[in-house]
Amino acid sequence: MAKFLTAANLSLLYNVVGMMPFGLMSADMVLEVWPSVTRETCTKGGWGGGKDTCVDSLEFTVGKIYLQVMFGVSMLYSMQLIFSGKMAYLASMGCMAATMIKHVTVDGLIPPPPVIGMTALTILAILASDVWGKRAFIGFCFFNALTFIAQPLMVLQDSFPDVVAGSKEAKLGAFCFEVISLYLVMAGLTALIPMKAYGLALASQVGLAVVGKHVLVDKSGPPTPMIFLWIATTLLAWKEYGWVMKPACDKAIKKGPQKVHGMIVGSNFVPYFIFEAIGGSMPMVGLASIDSSYAYTGATAMLCGMLAIFLTMSAYSEYTEQMDGKMFAIYHYFLSVVVFLWQCQSSTSLLGVMFFAAPHMFTTWTIYLVVTNSPNDKKD
């Protein structure tokens, strides 16, 4: 039992077994996931007792097809956990190719032509060169994830030209693209990070943020047992990684992101929250300006005051290097999740999203230093 209870196996349980109904029973799962979806559109029969003609509605078809794609990319990610090196990349791209072939030959749909082209070129690159194959796979994952998130309507209309902006189909497709993009990012991270345990922990952490967004913000998401399974996978992945940090890595973090972070927090965010605590508001970026749900009350005054005190202590310990680089890294992994969930709220302004993007930049910088200053264990 202990041998089975690993983060990788729990992830496979979720992403293969748990996601399988989306691929094999997608028509049934559409109404399970989105009960308000209309299954069919019917045309009344003509004079003389003609029968009504009913076909699957556009929103039902969009949901069914993209549930299958979600299963396909969950398998694409899972191949990174099962195999390694060239075999992992070929198996992952095989899952993508198989999904598209099914849609062309069975459903009569044409997947987005750019994705078809990139899939073929990536497979050729993997077959031709180990180094360039890996780079092509990582590029494929991140580029498509960005495209699906940034231009969901464009991607939808490549396969479903009748989808219009603001329609139920467009919103449903955009939601599916968040999940599809998540799996592509997770696969890209797992391939990019040369330490298996660290890559799995980061991929699970990113997934936890998106699952949290779907559950807490969108009031949707997977069933409760699946949510707890993802949480357990993430915690176990970090435990298996062991929070190990070599002296060179600790020093690089202290001298780099930690010291810069301490300077910025001490000189900017401490005064910011002191001002908010006493009822003031910074021009343009005050809490009331960047979050329409914010109101100054006794409770928010206390919380802002407490935050100012703890940020002062944090900034001092970071700048003077009393804080371990390991601690700085750990708290930023989880701080980014909390900030991301706030950035996804409908009450958060675009300026607010940009203003509080700094934690993600420090998290990224820290991850880079951990990777470049730690022993690698992945043999590609």
Q: What is the pLDDT of residue 47?
A: 59
The verdict on residue 116 lying in a domain is yes
Q: What is the pLDDT of residues 302-320, one digit of tens each?
A: 999 999 999 999 999 999 9
Please report the pLDDT score of residue 95 as a whole number.
97
**Host domain of residue 214:** 194-242
Encoded tokens for 269: 């965010």
Q: Cα separation of 153 and 146, whole Å?
A: 13
Whether residue 134 lies inside any domain: the answer is yes
Residue 378 lies in a domain: no
* Residue 56 in this model has a pLDDT that exceeds 90: no
pLDDT tier for residue 41 given thresholds of 50, 70 and 90? confident
pLDDT over threshold 60, residue 46: no
218 within domain boundaries = yes
Residue 61's Cα: distance from chain center in Å? 25
For residue 215, what are the contacts with CB-CB under 8 A and spacing of at least 6?
A: 221, 222, 227
pLDDT over 70 at 45, yes or no: no
Same domain, 251 and 366: yes
Q: Give me the number of domains the chain comprises.
A: 3
pLDDT band, residue 242 (cuts 50/70/90): confident
Same domain, 32 and 81: yes
Q: Is residue 48 predicted with pLDDT exceeding 60?
A: no
Rounded to an integer, the average pLDDT of 150-179 is 93
pLDDT band at 321 (very low <50, low <70, confident <90, very high): very high
Q: Is residue 171 scored above 90 in pLDDT? A: yes
Q: What is the pLDDT of residue 220?
A: 85
CA nearest to 70, candidates 105, 118, 34, 41: 34
The first and second tokens of residue 192, run together, are 């990019």
Q: What is the pLDDT of residues 160-169, one digit of tens each?
A: 999 999 999 9
pLDDT at 165: 92
Same domain, 27 and 175: yes
User: CB neighbours of 118 closer than 8 A, spacing ≥ 6?
Assistant: 140, 143, 144
In this structure, are 177 and 235 located in the same domain? no
Q: Evaluate if residue 43 carries a pLDDT over 80.
A: no
- Cα(91)–Cα(134) distance, integer angstroms: 13
Q: Which residue has the tokens 């391939």?
A: 191
Say how many C-beta atoms besides its own lie within 10 A of residue 53's C-beta.
11
* Domain final position from 154, 172, 192: 192
Residue of 17, 122, 19 whose CA lies nearest to 70: 19
- Does residue 365 sit in the same domain as residue 251? yes
Rounded CA-CA distance 259/68 in Å is 46
Tens-place pLDDT, residues 98-107: 999 999 999 9
In a domain, 78, yes or no: yes
The Cα–Cα gap between 20 and 158 comes to 26
Question: What number is the average pLDDT over the span 28-49?
Answer: 78
Does one domain contain both 360 and 253?
A: yes
Q: Is residue 264 part of a domain?
A: yes
C-alpha torsion angle, residues 219, 220, 226, 229 (rounded to 10): -40
- State whether residue 51 is helix, strand or coil: coil
Neighbour-count burial of 299, counting CB atoms closer than 10 A to its CB (0-12 exposed, 13-18 middle, 19+ buried): exposed
Whether 238 and 103 share a structural domain? no
Do 368 and 224 share a domain, yes or no? no
Residue 240: Cβ within 10 Å count:
15
CA torsion sign for 293, 297, 299, 300 is positive
On whether both 108 and 159 belong to a single domain, the answer is: yes
Separation in Å, CA 236 to CA 54, 80, 192, 203: 49, 18, 21, 13
pLDDT of residue 55: 84
d(CA 252, CA 366): 9
| Residue 171 and residue 29 share a domain | yes
Residues 186 and 198 in one domain: no
pLDDT of residue 3: 73
pTM above 0.75, yes or no: yes
For residue 222, pLDDT beyond 90: no
Within a domain: 379: no
96 in a structural domain: yes
> Which pLDDT belongs to residue 338?
96
Are residues 91 and 77 part of one domain? yes
